[in-house]
């Protein structure tokens, strides 16, 4: 058949509505396929940078220390020239990730003691003082007294010239001109002289990461322990100290810029760091970093989020493609008589396909291209899924042509009533449906065995398993639905009026045009409910984590507080109850206090006044079931105190042991074994909880708290922190014997709300929120579109029915009721089927989702929020209301009276 060149354009104008709908769906699908992964990459990169930025310097940065042998004659300053060279020798891609670097030479402070021009501090213990020279230090400080060491490294008095921070000078009572000696292991006493006092321009700058003791000295907690600090000199001074003091260490330090990392390149960075640890570029040195381990954990969490996003995005994309096929089929239904006439005039199926394809080529590829361009405007790295955009263009362009060719393989010229077709499914169709169910079941098995996330990305088959389950459920619902509807229809025959019977009868016949909308509706609702259930499961688990870690309204944490701080805080307005806590990490446990005892490993030792602790929990509105009665009822006596220990500690200590609490040994008996205790982090495996009120604490050596748990609201946050800092200063002044103004690490106040918010602000949470937003918004919109397609697909047949019924007295209100009765079983079945699949999927997939990576370690148990159920029911109401609006619009355009008079469907 010969086609004119202007024919496709005229036909596009005639069928602009159907073609435009298909183009819009293709545009949306292309934009989603391009933009969502880009935005996911942007959020993943930001989450990775946020996580890396919070890592301690010893974890995130790269240090390559080298111990200098005594016979090494190279000058300390020689390493300055190699700083850039060694950076370039780092395994790729590490050189491009380095933000800055420093070279340093250090002696002490371990094994180096200072004596001389000091006020005796903390008994007879001599302060530990290290010496350090480092690149960039002179530019990072402001001299407040004296000056920088001379080029010779010598002081006017002949000793090594050093400078110290203002805080160090205050604590150790030093001034410019102070002279003393330092002595290291294997070295000889060496004279040093203070020539300058400085203040860091930015005490928190990364350049001080490896030398925090140079900014503020470490004040001892226990009697007899020394102060530890560090002085700064130049390269010549380090050469003098090297020969006299010994123990010199060179260190090449490189800081990793978290902003240069991207989530897609984590594996190469981990490989490079592993290679660096095996063969560092500096001979006789070792590379120290834990960034590879941290990146592995962060990568695992991001991979879990991306796999979850892939599941949701696949569900939304599958729904969109389903709507595209429905739009293609709807367009074909509108042209059935035209194509049949062409076939009758001798056109082949290829000719018909070429005719329809010539129209689609003019619009659909352009629509997909526009969608792709819109998606590229979204910030973020391009995703690996953009190759699917041409596939999408082929689907939208060729779907109508393929369906047209398929429908005209068997020529028929008899107009059939589609609502009366009740054919038995063919063997081919039954085989296809059973195959879908079998493939979905196999996918669930493989998902539980292998998981979704992997180093190479996500498996397309495994990601599509939830969609296959939803489609399989829709097929089952399609087979089961007509039976109850027929039974209800039989009952409806006895009711007054024929509207209910007619609506259920049409719905029960299962017309072919409703199969597609039902499947799309089930997939969309499954995706939305799945997203909602996962979001609520994570939120509930985070609430549980907050209750575990924050067993009070607020926590105040510091270095060490004076004993009187408890009463000061409790006297503040708005504070209802407060309890002091001593929490020490890595404290040694021993089998007994005698000479023949043995070490039983280390553990976190917690000392808390349990009755006051229970009162704080109660006033904070939290359950106290996690606090055993043995600790609540414990009182001071002569024997060991009852203790709660973790299973790992109980396996070693047995019935009891001795714990080191701030330098004193306290015997305890194992009264309770529990995997956790309120107030402890969830990842702590070894801990001992001792009742403060039962410990035989001497008055001359009280247990000093380093945190407070308090209950109350309406307190002044500034006044509370000021009181806590006063307590820290009081403790320091008691140790040093002098004013400690400005020398404390500020106390930190964290409320339950702050902690809960921090769980929602962890790296990757933006990506998680994007996942839930796509699932909820996409599912809602696509479900409404599916209902609209169900209405439009049956519009002509329903129009003839309404025209006939109106001649029998059917009112407009009854016509709307007829549509509701017809659609309600379809929508209800989709909601039930999709809702059940979506609610079951998180538990069914189980470990494959790895939701515990988002819950601070708390086991994620599936939780269904009643509000989600209400939202789904509201969606049903909105869908039916939208269906009525669409039906009213169609009826106005169809002129139902003419449909009846002409007896035609067009």
- The residue among 169 and 126 whose pLDDT is bigger is 169
Please give the Cα distance from 263 to 50 (Å, whole number): 12
Helix axes 812-845, 427-450, angle to 10 degrees: 40
Residue 296 structure tokens: 């592995």
Q: Are 658 and 641 in contact (CB under 8 A)?
A: no
Q: What is the pLDDT of residue 512?
A: 43
**pLDDT of 419 higher than 60:** no
Q: Grade residue 903 by pLDDT with cuts at 50, 70 and 90.
A: very low
**pLDDT of 243 higher than 70:** no
- 795-810 average pLDDT score: 67
Q: What is the pLDDT of residue 556?
A: 92
**Which DSSP category does 705 fall into?**
P
- 817-832 average pLDDT score: 77
**Any idea which of 283-297, 416-430, 718-732 has the lowest mean pLDDT?**
416-430
Please give the Cα distance from 689 to 686 (Å, whole number): 10
- 293-306 average pLDDT score: 84
**Any idea which of 110-124, 314-328, 570-584 has the lowest mean pLDDT?**
110-124
Q: What is the pLDDT of residue 795?
A: 64
Q: What is the pLDDT of residue 1?
A: 42
872 phi and psi, to 5 degrees?
Answer: -65, -40
**pLDDT of 417 higher than 70:** no
**pLDDT of 333 higher than 60:** yes
Q: What is the pLDDT of residue 809?
A: 66
**pLDDT of 90 higher than 80:** yes
215 phi and psi, to 5 degrees?
Answer: -85, -50
Q: Which residues contact 551 (CB under 8 A, 6 or more apart)?
A: 613, 616, 617, 620, 622, 626, 678, 679, 709
What's the Cα-to-Cα distance from 38 to each of 33, 44, 379, 765, rounded to whole Å?
9, 10, 6, 16
- 307-323 average pLDDT score: 84
Tell me how long the chain is: 906
- % pLDDT > 90, the chain: 9
Please give the Cα distance from 373 to 35 (Å, whole number): 9
Which residues share a beta bridge with 710? Answer: 554, 578
Q: Grade residue 272 by pLDDT with cuts at 50, 70 and 90.
A: very high
Would you kindly state where each structural domain of the chain is located, as residue ranges?
1-58+313-415, 62-288, 481-550+753-906, 554-752
Q: Which of 149-158, 519-528, 615-624 has the highest mean pLDDT?
A: 615-624
Which residues share a beta bridge with 599? Answer: 590
Q: Which of 66-70, 100-104, 321-325, 476-480 has the highest mean pLDDT?
A: 100-104
Q: What is the pLDDT of residue 168?
A: 84
Q: What is the pLDDT of residue 23?
A: 84
Q: What H or E segment, with its residue span, contains residue 885?
A: helix 866-894
Q: What is the pLDDT of residue 513?
A: 46
Q: What is the pLDDT of residue 901?
A: 47
- 541-554 average pLDDT score: 88
Q: Grade residue 335 by pLDDT with cuts at 50, 70 and 90.
A: confident
Please give the Cα distance from 578 to 554 (Å, whole number): 10
Please give the Cα distance from 384 to 380 (Å, whole number): 12
Task: Report pLDDT digits (tens) over 713-731.
Answer: 888 899 999 999 888 888 7
What's the Cα-to-Cα distance from 454 to each of 43, 273, 520, rounded to whole Å?
19, 20, 29
Q: How far is CA 529 from the centre of its chain?
A: 20
Q: What pTM, to 2 d.p., does this model score? A: 0.78
Please give the Cα distance from 397 to 390 (Å, whole number): 10
Please give the Cα distance from 289 to 294 (Å, whole number): 10
Strands (E), 125-267: 128-134, 141-146, 160-165, 179-183, 190-200, 228-232, 248-256
Q: Are 576 and 563 in contact (CB under 8 A)?
A: no
Please give the Cα distance from 140 to 207 (Å, whole number): 8
**Any idea which of 121-125, 429-433, 651-655, 678-682 has the lowest mean pLDDT?**
121-125
Q: Grade residue 847 by pLDDT with cuts at 50, 70 and 90.
A: confident
Q: Grade residue 72 by pLDDT with cuts at 50, 70 and 90.
A: low
Strands (E), 53-212: 62-67, 98-107, 113-116, 128-134, 141-146, 160-165, 179-183, 190-200
Q: Grade residue 423 by pLDDT with cuts at 50, 70 and 90.
A: low
Residue 6 structure tokens: 């202007």
CA nearest 162: which of 238, 92, 275?
238
Q: What is the 3-state secondary structure (H, E, C) of 645-697?
A: ECHHHHHHHCCEEEEEECCEEEEEEEEEECCCCCCCCCCCCCEEEEEHHHCCC
- 208-226 average pLDDT score: 76
Q: What is the pLDDT of residue 737?
A: 61
């Amino acid at each position: 058949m010969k086609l004119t060149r202007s024919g496709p354009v005229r036909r596009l104008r005639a069928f602009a509505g159907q073609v435009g709908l298909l183009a819009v769906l293709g545009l949306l699908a292309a934009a989603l396929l391009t933009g969502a992964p880009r935005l996911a990459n942007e959020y993943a990169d930001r989450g990775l940078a946020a996580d890396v930025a919070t890592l301690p310097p010893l974890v995130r940065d790269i240090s390559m220390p080298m111990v200098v042998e005594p016979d090494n004659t190279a000058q300390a300053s020689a390493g300055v020239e190699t700083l850039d060279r060694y950076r370039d020798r780092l395994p790729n891609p590490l050189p491009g990730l380095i933000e800055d670097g420093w070279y340093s030479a250090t002696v002490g402070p371990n094994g180096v003691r200072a004596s001389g021009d000091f006020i005796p501090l903390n008994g007879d213990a001599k302060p530990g003082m290290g010496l350090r020279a480092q690149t960039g230090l002179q530019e990072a400080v402001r001299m407040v007294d004296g000056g920088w060491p001379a080029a010779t490294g010598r002081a006017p008095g002949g000793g090594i010239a050093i400078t110290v921070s203002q805080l160090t000078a205050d604590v150790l009572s030093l001034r410019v001109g102070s002279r003393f000696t330092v002595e290291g292991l294997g070295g000889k006493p060496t004279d040093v002289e203070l020539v300058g006092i400085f203040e860091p321009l930015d005490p928190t700058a990364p350049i001080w990461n490896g030398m925090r003791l140079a900014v503020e000295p470490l004040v001892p907690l226990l009697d007899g322990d020394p102060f530890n600090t560090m002085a700064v000199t130049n390269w010549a001074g380090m050469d003098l100290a090297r020969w006299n003091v010994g123990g010199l260490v060179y260190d090449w330090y490189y800081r990793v810029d978290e902003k240069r990392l991207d989530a897609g390149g984590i594996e190469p960075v981990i490989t490079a760091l592993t290679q660096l640890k095996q063969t560092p570029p500096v001979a006789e040195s070792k590379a120290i970093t834990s960034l590879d381990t941290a990146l592995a954990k962060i990568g695992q969490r991001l991979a879990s989020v991306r796999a979850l996003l892939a599941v949701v995005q696949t569900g939304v994309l599958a729904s969109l493609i389903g709507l595209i096929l429905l739009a293609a089929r709807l367009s074909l239904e509108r042209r059935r008589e035209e194509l049949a006439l062409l076939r009758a005039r001798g056109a082949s199926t290829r000719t018909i396909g070429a005719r329809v394809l010539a129209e689609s080529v003019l619009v659909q590829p352009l629509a997909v291209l526009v969608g792709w361009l819109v998606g590229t405007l979204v910030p973020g790295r391009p995703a690996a899924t953009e190759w699917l955009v041409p596939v999408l263009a082929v689907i939208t362009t060729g779907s109508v042509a393929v369906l047209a060719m398929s429908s005209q393989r068997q020529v028929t010229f008899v107009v059939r009533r589609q609502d009366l077709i009740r054919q038995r499914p063919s063997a081919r169709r039954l085989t296809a449906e059973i195959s879908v169910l079998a493939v979905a079941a196999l996918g669930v098995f493989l998902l539980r065995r292998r998981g979704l996330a992997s180093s190479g990305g996500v498996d397309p088959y495994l990601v599509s398993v939830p969609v296959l389950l939803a489609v399989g459920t829709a097929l089952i619902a399609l087979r089961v639905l007509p039976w109850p509807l027929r039974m209800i229809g039989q009952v409806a025959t006895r009711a007054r009026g024929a509207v209910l019977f007619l609506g259920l009868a049409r719905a029960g016949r299962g017309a072919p045009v409703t199969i597609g909308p039902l499947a799309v509706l089930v997939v969309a609702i499954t995706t939305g409910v799945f997203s909602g259930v996962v979001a609520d499961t994570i939120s509930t688990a985070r609430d549980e984590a907050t209750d575990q870690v924050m067993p009070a309204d607020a926590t105040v944490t510091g270095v060490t507080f004076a004993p009187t701080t408890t009463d000061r805080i409790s006297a503040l307005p708005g504070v209802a109850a407060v309890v002091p806590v001593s929490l020490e990490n890595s404290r040694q446990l021993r089998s007994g206090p005698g000479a023949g005892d043995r070490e039983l490993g280390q553990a976190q030792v917690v000392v808390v006044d349990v009755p006051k602790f229970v009162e704080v929990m109660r006033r904070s509105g939290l359950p106290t079931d996690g606090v055993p009665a043995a600790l609540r009822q414990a009182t001071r006596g002569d024997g060991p105190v009852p203790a709660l220990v973790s299973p790992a500690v109980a396996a070693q200590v047995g019935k009891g042991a001795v714990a080191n609490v701030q330098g004193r040994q306290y015997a305890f008996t194992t009264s309770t074994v529990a995997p956790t205790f309120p107030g402890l982090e969830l990842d702590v495996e070894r801990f001992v909880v001792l009742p403060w009120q039962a410990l035989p604490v001497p008055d001359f050596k009280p247990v000093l708290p380093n945190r407070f748990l308090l209950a109350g609201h309406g307190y002044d946050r500034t006044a509370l922190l000021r009181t806590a800092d006063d307590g820290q200063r009081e403790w320091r002044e008691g140790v040093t014997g002098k004013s400690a103004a400005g020398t404390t690490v500020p106390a930190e106040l964290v409320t339950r709300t702050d902690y809960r918010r921090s769980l929602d602000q962890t790296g990757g949470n933006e990506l998680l929120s994007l996942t839930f937003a796509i699932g909820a918004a996409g599912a809602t919109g696509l479900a409404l579109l599916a209902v609209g397609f169900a209405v439009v697909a049956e519009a002509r047949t329903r129009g003839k029915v309404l025209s006939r019924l109106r001649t029998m007295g059917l009112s407009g209100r009854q016509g709307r009721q007829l549509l509701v009765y017809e659609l309600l079983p379809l929508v209800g079945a989709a909601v039930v089927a999709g809702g059940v699949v979506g609610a079951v999927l998180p538990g069914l997939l189980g470990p494959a989702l790895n939701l515990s990576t988002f819950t601070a370690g708390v086991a994620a148990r599936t939780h269904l929020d009643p509000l989600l159920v209400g939202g789904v029911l509201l969606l049903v109401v909105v869908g039916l209301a939208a269906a009525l609006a669409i039906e009213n619009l169609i009826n106005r355009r169809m002129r139902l009276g003419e449909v009846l008079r002409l007896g035609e469907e067009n």
